[in-house]
Structure 1
Amino acid sequence: MNFRQIEAFRAVIISGTASRAAELMGVTQPAVSRLIGELEAAIGFPLFDRVKGRLVPTPEAEIFYRDVETSFRGLDRLRSTAARIRDFGSGHIRVASLAAAGSTVVPRAVRKFKESFPSAIVTLSIMTSASVRNHVVDGEFDLGLAADEVDLSGVEHQVFGSFPALCALPSGHPLSSKKVIHPRDFDGIDYVALSPEDRARLQFDKLCEDAGAKPNLVIETPFAITACALALEGVGAGIVNPLAVDGFAERGLILRPFEPAVYFKSYLLFRPDMQKARLVRAFVSALMEVRNMRHQVAVI
């Protein structure tokens, strides 16, 4: 059994006659008949009954055709993938991002990227930075955006940015009257904290310790966007990644600078050799453009 025999069988099913199948395949009618005969001999059962000059599929042929058609749909997908690779590089880019950038910077980069590569497919997954790193290392994603606490060994990387933290406060919070928040201001304040391994949190905790301030830890979350939502609901105050705050000020969240500065540093992570892929380079360029054009948060 070979592909040409299967192709002849499918052509006869689709067209209904050997002569039309021959036209579809660009061969003679005897060649189609020969291919069908060879296929029947190979699989051990008849595929067609000859009824008044027509080839009528047997019940076995109809069952066999289901898998044949599935296989041809797979071939059609392969042809489509090959066309995307020819025209756009890989044709499909898989991106994993930490949550802070996953609802702001990355979607904007996707929009810019799609302006240049409208037919390219983007798979975007939001996850913890540790998961981003592991999935990129395992080859499941082409590009990752992760915070600086991840293990960078064994993965190609470059700095994406370093962003000074903002203090997120509920509306009417006692600290909202201040123009700038300092570590000592957190003494006795209900505190919405990021994960213990988050390096920005570690910086913040050290600054509070040095200032003799003891915040009242009420909840921990790995996601800055969740910390913003918790602060908005009045759960407490916290320091957050400025990439995650878009839209929260309009909903009533108070944002203030925090000094001394605490930085959220992030990296772009690549599969081996993925930096050379055209689509990856284009997506990184879009990310950098969005990062550079990012509007400063209005602090009021």
Structure 2
Amino acid sequence: MNLRQIEIFHAVMTNSTASRAAEVLRISQPVVSKAIQELEHSTGLALFHRTNGRLLATSEARLFFREVEQSFTGLTHLRSAAARIGGFGSGEIRFASLSELSTNVVPKALYAFQKRHPEVTITFQTQRSTLVKDLVASGQLDVGVVADETELAGVDARPFTNYRAVVALPADHRLRERAVVLAKDLHGEPFVALSPEDTIRRQVDAIFETGAIKPKIVLETQHSTTICALVNAGLGCGVVNPITAEPYLGRNLIVRPFEPAIYFRTLLLLPANRQPLKIVTNLISDLKNHASLDDATTHQTVPLL
């Protein structure tokens, strides 16, 4: 007895005739008849009476069919599970991002994604880029977004965003009329800086040092989002990722492109040597769709990679 014989028996019982079973299974009627004979031989059951070329089910066949039906229900469940896993995996996506995108790009993308896929559960974390990378590399995350200076061993890394840095200013600042704020314009200005270990901070410091420019650093913080909040509160100005400034625009904060141009770049990480599930690919698409900036946010067009 094998699965093919059971499948043919099921088709005969479901469709009442061998000819119709053959048609449904797209095989010949002699193949159906042979499989039924082999099944009867292997089970020792007389499953059908043969009358005028027709197969008439016996009582044994009907009892056996009950058991077969239960097995087919299990197979149908397995087929459905395979289809679901192929598109949705476990039905959960594990995702993490650096904080700069967690208050703007990510919420908008997750909202769009969940409207189209309400059956998928998303676990989202905001973490340091190095930790996000380690979690993706170990398979504990399905996708991550990190700063571009992150070490990338053990992951599949793809360019994600590329935002030109802007200067966040209080709305009444003396530089508010400038189309572009030059580094030299910040000499002596109260300045909220990123942490010394930050890549953008190091680039800004190098620009200031080259031009003998000395802003008055009043605070240091890890995140552009915090700089925007502090500028909005009137503590000074700061060089920030423009995506983090958007929630504050129209309040007590304006932004202008910083010159010379420097860029906040991020990477999208996936586990190495593993094709992402379709549902993960859909989330990535939504992230990309909501990562663009408009002129109102940056005072210019900012390209994305």
TM-score range, shorter chain: 0.5 to 0.7
1:251-290 alignment, distance < 5 Å: 251-290=251-290
Match of 2:98 in 1: 98
Structure (1 or 2) with the larger CA radius of gyration: 2
Amino acid at match of 2:113: F
TM-aligned CA distance change 1:198 to 1:93, over 3 Å:
same
* Pair 1:124-2:124 in alignment: yes
Runs of 4+ in 1 over 4 A off after TM superposition: 81-84
Structure 1 residue 116 displacement after superposition: 2.8
Alpha-carbon contact 1:180-1:257 (below 8 Å) kept: yes
Q: Do the aligned partners of 1:275 and 1:281 also contact (CA within 8 Å) in 2? A: no
Q: CA deviation at 1:84?
A: 5.6
SS in 2 for 1:107: helix
Match of 2:296 in 1: 297
Bigger mean CA offset, 89-98 vs 131-140: 131-140
Paired position in structure 1 for 2:191: 191
State the shift of 1:114 in Å. 1.8
Using the size of structure 2 for normalisation, the TM-score is: 0.67
Q: Which residue of 2 aligns with 1:163?
A: 163
The count of residues paired between Structure 1 and Structure 2 equals 222
Distance 1:245 1:196 in 2: 21
For the 8 Å contact 2:180–2:258, the answer to whether it is kept is yes
Distance 1:118 1:273, change over 3 A: farther
Q: Is the 8 A contact 1:193 1:220 kept in 2?
A: yes
TM-fit CA distance, 1:141: 1.4
Q: Secondary structure at the match of 1:235?
A: coil
Kept after mapping to 1: 8 A contact 2:242/2:298: no
Alpha-carbon separation, structure 2, partners of 1:90 and 1:206: 48
- Residue of structure 1 equivalent to 2:107: 107
Change (3 A) 1:299 1:87: closer
Distance 1:261 1:161 in 2: 15
User: What's the CA shift string for 1:209-267, capped at 9, x where partnerless?
Assistant: 11110112221111111110011111121111111112201222121111111100100
C-alpha RMSD of the superposition: 2.4
SS at match of 2:154: coil
Question: Within 2, Cα distance between the matches of 1:273 and 1:279?
Answer: 17
Match of 1:246, as an amino acid?
A: E
**Contact 2:166/2:298, CA 8 A, preserved across alignment:** no
Alpha-carbon spacing, 1:163–1:191, altered in 2? closer, same or farther (3 Å): same
Residue of structure 2 in register with 1:85 after alignment? 85
Q: TM-score, normalised by structure 1?
A: 0.68
Q: Which runs of 5+ in 1 are unaligned?
A: 1-25, 28-80
Q: Percent of pairs identical after alignment? A: 38
Distance 1:291 1:275, change over 3 A: farther
Gaps of 5+ in 2: 1-65, 68-80, 300-305
Shift of 1:275: 4.4
Letter in 2 for 1:295: D
Residues 150-207 of structure 1: per-residue CA shift (max 9 Å, x gap): 1122221100021101100123223223221111111111211112232222221111
Give me the whole-angstrom Cα distance separating, in 2, the residues matched to 1:240 and 1:291: 16
Once the two structures are TM-superposed, the CA of residue 95 in structure 1 deviates from its matched residue by: 0.8
Q: Distance in 1 between matches of 2:251 and 2:112?
A: 27
CA distance in 2, matches of 1:289, 1:259: 28
Q: Which position in structure 2 is the counterpart of 1:206? A: 206
Displacement of 1:298: 4.2
CA contact (8 A) 2:160 2:266 kept: yes
